Amino acid sequence: MMNNVGQRRLNMMVHFNSGVCVNTEEGSGPMYMIHMPSSPKPHLHPVLRNVLPVLNPSDIAPQQGQIYHVKGPGHHGKAMRSVVEHWVTNALAQGEAVHWIDGACRIDPGRFIPLLKQRRTSVEAALSRLYLSRGFTLHQLDHQLDRLPRELAITRTPLLVVDGLLTMHEDDAIRRRESRVLLKRHLALLQRTAHERHVAVVVITAAHHHDRLQQQRIDLVQRSANNHLTGIQQKQGRAKHLRLLHPRSGRAGMWGIPHSRQTAFRTLTRDRSSAEQVSYPVLTNAEEKSVKRR
């Protein structure tokens, strides 16, 4: 700072996150604080607050009495099936019964065998508590859902999986109004079943669809559900990883359950020893001549 007398020295001390202390006197004069408020922290979406490298399956497990909408990539949410199979395996290993309605016609009970073996559970006893039903048409699926309350009253299962609820709605023989009426009826039935039977209902669908009507059906399931889990497939090099987003708890992370093959084949090779090698007979000169004459 310059004045008529001459040049005056300005002493400054910077305190981070607090302000700047300024001394305008040459000596030990008073210090004046110039407050510098810190910039506000950016608002984060609840999904991004707790980002975990690997998501714990118990943190996103379905709750009884609720409809859990699980959606992700693949044909009608095929990539999310491994997550649901993990929950089903846990229930079977604890001695519970599980109902699985296969609307997408893709269930393979053999996929549970390596998962049950990892938990040291009797595979035969566990799979006997897995009740599978498959509908090849939308009306067959309607009959299966209609008789659910009577079946659940007998098995008292805590977990119900409806895989590919919207698959049959793509049938050209189903009219638009009929599809809308049946879907609303199915969702109301699942809500009533979850509440009255205290069952965790898991519905698997695709996350997005190019068809406008099918996307509207996905949105209707989204609005009818009490809980949601979304899967996003991320590619790192040649490997594909499934990232899960759970908006209700604000958790997100990678699906870290390793996939084990159902059947592993091992080839045994054995080298022949000298004793096992085939020895060919040695012919004498007279025997060779007799063979040539023949």
pLDDT for 195 equals: 94
Q: Which H or E element spans position 134?
A: strand 130-134
Note whether 98 and 197 are same-domain residues: yes
User: For residue 216, is it within any domain?
Assistant: yes
Note whether 171 and 122 are same-domain residues: yes
pLDDT for 192 equals: 95
Q: At what angle do helices 148-155 and 176-196 cross, to 10 degrees?
A: 20
Task: Look at residue 23 and give its three-state secondary structure.
Answer: strand
The stretches of 225-284 forming alpha helices (DSSP H) are: none
Note whether 197 and 237 are same-domain residues: yes
Note whether 60 and 16 are same-domain residues: no
Note whether 76 and 203 are same-domain residues: yes
Which domain does 14 fall in, by range?
10-40
Q: Phi then psi for 160, rounded to 5 degrees?
A: -130, 130
Note whether 22 and 167 are same-domain residues: no
d(CA 88, CA 82): 10
User: For residue 1, is it within any domain?
Assistant: no
- State the 10-residue block means of pLDDT for the chain, 294 residues long: 51 53 56 51 40 65 94 90 92 95 85 92 94 89 92 94 91 91 95 95 93 93 95 83 89 69 34 40 53 51
d(CA 181, CA 227): 23
User: For residue 269, is it within any domain?
Assistant: no
**DSSP 8-state code for residue 25:** S
Strands 159-163 and 251-255: unpaired
User: For residue 277, is it within any domain?
Assistant: no
d(CA 65, CA 159): 10
User: For residue 3, is it within any domain?
Assistant: no
Note whether 209 and 176 are same-domain residues: yes
d(CA 97, CA 145): 17
Question: What letter represents residue 190's amino acid?
Answer: L
User: For residue 265, is it within any domain?
Assistant: no
User: For residue 150, is it within any domain?
Assistant: yes
CATH number at residue 232: 3.40.50.300
b or e along 272-288 (b: 16 or more beta carbons within 10 Å of the residue's beta carbon)? eeeeeeeeeeeeeeeee
Handedness of CA 141, 142, 143, 146 (dihedral sign): positive
pLDDT for 226 equals: 94
Note whether 30 and 56 are same-domain residues: no
Question: What letter represents residue 262's amino acid?
Answer: Q
Note whether 229 and 174 are same-domain residues: yes
Note whether 18 and 126 are same-domain residues: no
**Matching residue, tokens 């004498």:** 284
Q: Domain count of the chain?
A: 2
b or e along 213-222 (b: 16 or more beta carbons within 10 Å of the residue's beta carbon)? ebeebbeebe
User: For residue 293, is it within any domain?
Assistant: no
pLDDT for 122 equals: 94
| Contact yes or no for 69/128 (Cβ under 8 A) | no
Note whether 208 and 93 are same-domain residues: yes
